[in-house]
Structure 1
Amino acid sequence: MGFCSTAQGNICNWMHRYIDQRKYAGSALLICQNGQEVFFHACGHRSIENNLRFQRDSLVRIYSMTKPVTSVALMMLVEQGLFHLDAPLSDFLPEFASMQALIPGATRIDQTEDAPSPSLHQLLTHTSGLSYPFNLGVLPMAMDELDLIFSPQQGPLADRVKLLAQLPLAFQPGARWEYAVGIDVIGHVIEVVTGKSLDVFLAEHIFQPLEMTETAFSVPSGAGDRFASLYTPLEGNAMALGAAKTGSETLRLFDSHGKSPFEAATTFSGGGGLVSTIDDYSKFAEMLRNKGTGKGARLLGQKTVEFMFYNHLPGDIASMGPQSFAEQPMDGTGFGIGGAVVLNPARARCPGSVGDFGWGGMASTYFWIDPVNHLSTVFFTQLSPSSSYPSRAELKALVHSALVD
Structure 2
Amino acid sequence: MQGESVEPEAVGLSSERLERIVPWMRAYVEDGRLPGLSVTVARRGGVAFSRAHGLSDLARGTPMAHDTIVRVYSMTKPLTSTAIMMLYEEGRFQLDDPVTRFLPEFRDMRVLTGGSRLRPETVPAERDITVRDLLTHTSGLTYGFMESTLVDQMYRDQGVDFQTAETSLADVVARAARLPLLAQPGAEWNYSIATDVLGHLVAVIAGVPFDTFLRERIIRPLGMVDTDFHVPAEKLARFASNYALGQDGRLTLIDDAAEGRYARPRAVPSGGGGLVSTAADYGRFCRFILGGGALDGVRLLGRKTVALMTANHLPGDLAEMGQPRFSESSYSGIGFGLGFSVMLDPARAQILGTPGEVAWGGAASTAFWIDPAEDLFVILLTQLMPSSTWPVRRELRVLTYAALTD
TM-score if structure 1 supplies the norm length? 0.95
**Does 2:131 align with 1:120?**
yes
Instruction: Report matched runs for 1:221-240 at 5 Å.
Output: 221-233=233-245, 235=246
2:5 aligns to what?
Answer: none
Q: Does the C-alpha gap of structure 1 residues 152 and 223 become closer, same or farther in structure 2, counting only changes over 3 Å?
A: farther
Question: Could you tell me which amino acid in structure 2 is paired with residue 252 of structure 1?
Answer: T
Superimposed CA distance per residue, residues 209-262 of structure 1 (whole angstroms, 9 cap, x where no aligned partner)? 1111110011134111111000001x5xxxxxxxxxxx1133110001232112
Once residues 165 and 144 of structure 2 are traced to their aligned partners in structure 1, the CA distance between those partners, rounded to angstroms, is: 17
Question: Could you tell me which amino acid in structure 2 is paired with residue 380 of structure 1?
Answer: L
Gaps of 5+ in 1: 236-246
Once residues 232 and 17 of structure 2 are traced to their aligned partners in structure 1, the CA distance between those partners, rounded to angstroms, is: 36
1:130 aligns to what?
Answer: 141
Q: Does the C-alpha gap of structure 1 residues 179 and 110 become closer, same or farther in structure 2, counting only changes over 3 Å?
A: same
Question: Could you tell me which amino acid in structure 2 is paired with residue 341 of structure 1?
Answer: V
Question: Could you tell me which amino acid in structure 2 is paired with residue 134 of structure 1?
Answer: F
Once residues 324 and 206 of structure 2 are traced to their aligned partners in structure 1, the CA distance between those partners, rounded to angstroms, is: 34
Q: Does the C-alpha gap of structure 1 residues 172 and 106 become closer, same or farther in structure 2, counting only changes over 3 Å?
A: farther
1:263 aligns to what?
Answer: 263
Conserved 8 A contact 2:165-2:172: no
Question: Could you tell me which amino acid in structure 2 is paired with residue 356 of structure 1?
Answer: E
1:49 aligns to what?
Answer: 59
Conserved 8 A contact 1:152-1:262: no
1:330 aligns to what?
Answer: 331
2:285 aligns to what?
Answer: 284
Q: Does the C-alpha gap of structure 1 residues 221 and 258 become closer, same or farther in structure 2, counting only changes over 3 Å?
A: closer
Q: Does the C-alpha gap of structure 1 residues 153 and 110 become closer, same or farther in structure 2, counting only changes over 3 Å?
A: closer
Once the 2 structures are TM-superposed, how far is the Cα of residue 325 of structure 1 from its aligned partner? Answer: 1.0
Superimposed CA distance per residue, residues 73-116 of structure 1 (whole angstroms, 9 cap, x where no aligned partner)? 0000000000011111111111111111112x555562101113
**Does 2:153 align with 1:141?**
yes
Instruction: Report matched runs for 1:183-222 at 5 Å.
Output: 183-222=195-234
1:345 aligns to what?
Answer: 346
Query: Helix, strand or coil for the counterpart of 2:27?
Result: helix
Question: Could you tell me which amino acid in structure 1 is paired with residue 253 of structure 2?
Answer: L
Conserved 8 A contact 1:152-1:266: no
**Does 2:400 align with 1:399?**
yes
Once residues 236 and 157 of structure 2 are traced to their aligned partners in structure 1, the CA distance between those partners, rounded to angstroms, is: 32
Instruction: Report matched runs for 1:158-173 at 5 Å.
Output: 158-173=170-185
Conserved 8 A contact 2:293-2:302: yes
Once residues 341 and 249 of structure 1 are traced to their aligned partners in structure 2, the CA distance between those partners, rounded to angstroms, is: 34
Conserved 8 A contact 1:152-1:268: no
Once residues 69 and 363 of structure 1 are traced to their aligned partners in structure 2, the CA distance between those partners, rounded to angstroms, is: 18
Query: Helix, strand or coil for the counterpart of 1:172?
Result: coil
Question: Could you tell me which amino acid in structure 2 is paired with residue 38 of structure 1?
Answer: A
Gaps of 5+ in 2: 1-10
Superimposed CA distance per residue, residues 22-55 of structure 1 (whole angstroms, 9 cap, x where no aligned partner)? 1110011111111111110000000001111011
Following TM superposition, the consecutive aligned residue runs of length 4 or more in structure 1 with deviations greater than 6 angstroms are none
TM-score if structure 2 supplies the norm length? 0.94
1:5 aligns to what?
Answer: 15
Conserved 8 A contact 2:318-2:324: no
Superimposed CA distance per residue, residues 133-159 of structure 1 (whole angstroms, 9 cap, x where no aligned partner)? 122111111112223221155221011
2:105 aligns to what?
Answer: 95
- Higher mean alpha-carbon deviation, 82-91 vs 258-267, is at 258-267
Matched residues, number: 392
**Does 2:80 align with 1:70?**
yes
Once the 2 structures are TM-superposed, how far is the Cα of residue 13 of structure 1 from its aligned partner? Answer: 1.0
Once residues 155 and 288 of structure 1 are traced to their aligned partners in structure 2, the CA distance between those partners, rounded to angstroms, is: 33
Conserved 8 A contact 2:366-2:381: yes
C-alpha RMSD of matched pairs (Å):
1.2
**Does 2:42 align with 1:22?**
no
Superimposed CA distance per residue, residues 179-238 of structure 1 (whole angstroms, 9 cap, x where no aligned partner)? 0000000000000011111111011111111111110011134111111000001x5xxx
Once residues 250 and 201 of structure 1 are traced to their aligned partners in structure 2, the CA distance between those partners, rounded to angstroms, is: 40
1:317 aligns to what?
Answer: 318
Question: Could you tell me which amino acid in structure 1 is paired with residue 175 of structure 2?
Answer: L
Once residues 338 and 40 of structure 1 are traced to their aligned partners in structure 2, the CA distance between those partners, rounded to angstroms, is: 26
Once the 2 structures are TM-superposed, how far is the Cα of residue 263 of structure 1 from its aligned partner? Answer: 1.8
Once residues 347 and 220 of structure 1 are traced to their aligned partners in structure 2, the CA distance between those partners, rounded to angstroms, is: 44
**Does 2:58 align with 1:58?**
no
Once residues 257 and 44 of structure 1 are traced to their aligned partners in structure 2, the CA distance between those partners, rounded to angstroms, is: 16
Conserved 8 A contact 1:30-1:41: yes
Question: Could you tell me which amino acid in structure 2 is paired with residue 353 of structure 1?
Answer: T
**Does 2:34 align with 1:39?**
no
Once residues 126 and 227 of structure 1 are traced to their aligned partners in structure 2, the CA distance between those partners, rounded to angstroms, is: 31
- Higher mean alpha-carbon deviation, 108-117 vs 128-137, is at 108-117
